[in-house]
Amino acid sequence: MCGILAVFGCIDNSQAKRSRIIELSRRHSISFCLLRHRGPDWSGLHCHGNCYLAHQRLAIVDPASGDQPLYNEDKTVIVTVNGEIYNHKQLREKLKSHQFRTGSDCEVIAHLYEEHGEEFVDMLDGMFSFVLLDTKDNSYIAARDAIGITPLYMGWGLDGSIWFASEMKALSDDCERFISFPPGHIYSSKQGGLRRWYNPPWFLEQTPSSSYDPIVLRKAFEKAVFKRLMTDVPFGVLLSGGLDSSLVAAVACRYLAESEAACQWGSQLHTFCIGLESSPDLKAAREVADYLGTRHHEFHFTVQEGIDALEEVIYHIETYDVTTIRASTPMFLMSRKIKSLGVKMVLSGEGSDEIFGGYLYFHKAPNKEEFHQETCQKIKALHLYDCLRANKSTSAWGVEARVPFLDKEFINIAMAIDPEWKMISPDLGRIEKWVLRNAFDDVQKPYLPKHILYRQKEQFSDGVGYSWIDGLKDHANKQVTDAMLTHASFIYPENTPTTKEAYYYRTIFEKFFPKNAARSTVPGGPSVACSTAKAVEWDAAWSKNLDPSGRAALGIHSAAYEEAVDAKNKSSLSGSPKKLQGVGEKAAAVV
C-alpha cells in the first residue's frame, strides 16, 4: 500500500513550494514519516506548472521497475496510484497498441485514460486511489475504488488549490477544509465536481430475489482469493480463527500451489494471529493453522502495551471511533511484528459481516427488507470503519492488506441473494452468515473443521481477549472525570462523546487533528455491537446498553456482559432469541 499526494492550482510554484510538497510526503511526526510509512521503498515527485504529484511506494508488484509517478508513452499523462489492479494483465491485452514502460499493475491506468477518456474506472478490478494529470490541457481526475478499501482525502486551500492525499495528516496543515473522498466516485476538473462511477444493483437497497446457490457463492469467493495472490513479495494471511479469516486461509492454502507467488515464495502459507494470553482467537487460530498446515506465527500483547500504543494508533488511523480504535490497536501491534519478519502483504477477512449480516445484532432484524437495508448501509460505510482500520493499521508499518470479501464480483453475487436466506433462524439451524458457512461445508473435501465453520461471531476487538476492552474502559475511567463527561457537549458539540472511553480517544484525536474539518470526517451516532443507529431500534433494551462490542448483543453473545444480562432478566422481557451456545453444533447437524 502506497501513499499519494497531489496538489493542483497552487499560486506559488516556486522552489519553496516544491520543497513544501516534498516535506509533506516525508516529514516526521512523533517519529513517523507523514506518508513515507505507507511507502518506504521509493519516493517520486512530478511537477508541471502549478501541479504536483508525489508518491511514496510500497513495492508489491514489479519492485524493480514500477516506481511512480507512472506515465504514458510521451509523458503527457502522469498518474500516481495507491493500490493494486488485479486484472491488469487482461487489460494490457486490450492495449496492445500502447507501449508499457514497466511491469507495474497500475500503469494500465494511464493508457486506459488515453483510450477511453474519463470513462474507464469501472474497467478496473482492484483496490485503488489515484490522481491523473493530463498535461495537454492541464485537466485532472481523481478516483477511489468501489468500496473505499484504499483511503483518499480531498482538500481545498485558501489560495484556490485542490489537494488529494492518502491520509488526512498530509492535508490538515495546508487545507482550510477537507473531506474523506467518497468511495466509488471520480472527481473531474473538466466537469467541476464529483460523480459516482460505481452503480451496482444493490446500491439502491431494493430487496433482491435471486435464489441461493452455494456453489456459485463458493466459486466466486475462491476466485476473489486467488486473484489476490498476485504478488512479487513475501505474504501471508491474518488468521483470527473466526469464520472469515479461516475461510480466506483455507482457500489460499488450497490454491496457493497454482499461483505464480508459489514459484517465488513456496507453497506453505504463512498465517498470523495476535491476542492476549489465553484469548479466544489465539486458541482458534492455532487449531485452524494446524488443520491447514500453515506456517503459523502467534503474537501476544498485554493490555498495558495496547494502552501505551493508543496515541500512535489514533495518529495513524485518523479517527476517534471507539470500535475502530479498539480493533486497530492489536492489528497495529501485529503489523509491526509481521513487517519485522520481512512480510509486506497480507490477506484479511474484512467485509463478510457487512455483506452477510454477520454481526450478532442481526439476530433481531424484524424482516428481510430491514435486514437487507442494514447490510447495504453497512457496506456503504465500510470506508469509515473496517476498511480504514485494516488499511491504516497495516500501512503504518509498510504492510499492505488485501480483502477478498470486498471483491466487486463477489459482492454483486452475494448481495443479489434473497435476504430471507441470510436471516438468522435458530429453529432451522441457521446462525449468522449461514449462507457462507453452508457454501463451504464440503463433506468430501472439508475446508475447515465443523466447529470452526460454525463458530460464533467474535468481533476482532473481543476475540483478542475480553479483558482488552475491559482494560481500555478502566484506563479511560482513570483519565476522564465525571465532571469532564458531564460537560462533554460544551467541549465537543459535534459528535459529543457519551462514555469516558470515547471522551479519552477524542482528546487524543483533537491533539493531532484540531480542525473542524478533521472531526467531521468521523461518523457518529448510537450503536450496539457495531450496528447502525437505525438497527438499535430493533430491540428496546439495546438503547440502554449502547456499546460497539459484540458482547453488548444481550441474550445473543454467549459471553454477553453479565450485569446487563441480569438487568434484562429482571425486566422480564420475553421473546428474545436463545443464546447461541450449542447452535453451531445444531447447525452442523442440519447441514
Q: Which residues are catalytic?
A: 2
**Interatomic CA distance for residues 278 and 207, integer angstroms:** 42
Q: What are phi and psi of 51, to 5 degrees?
A: -120, 135
* CA nearest to 281, candidates 521, 469, 462: 462
For β-strands 345-347 and 235-238, DSSP reports them as parallel
Coil vs helix vs strand at 193: strand
**Interatomic CA distance for residues 324 and 550, integer angstroms:** 13
Cell 430487496, residue located: 207
**Interatomic CA distance for residues 238 and 240, integer angstroms:** 7
* CA 25 to mean position of chain CA atoms: 23
**Interatomic CA distance for residues 184 and 382, integer angstroms:** 12
Instruction: Note whether 541 and 531 are within 8 A (CB).
Output: no
Q: How far is CA 394 from CA 71, 239, 329, in A?
A: 28, 14, 11
Single-letter residue type at 485? L
> Per this entry, what is the length of the chain?
591
Coil vs helix vs strand at 245: helix
How crowded is residue 32: how many other Cβ atoms within 10 Å of its Cβ?
Answer: 16
Coil vs helix vs strand at 170: helix
383 Cβ partners below 8 Å, 6+ apart?
A: 147, 148, 149, 151, 180, 183
Residue 236 burial (10 A CB sphere; 0-12, 13-18, 19+): buried
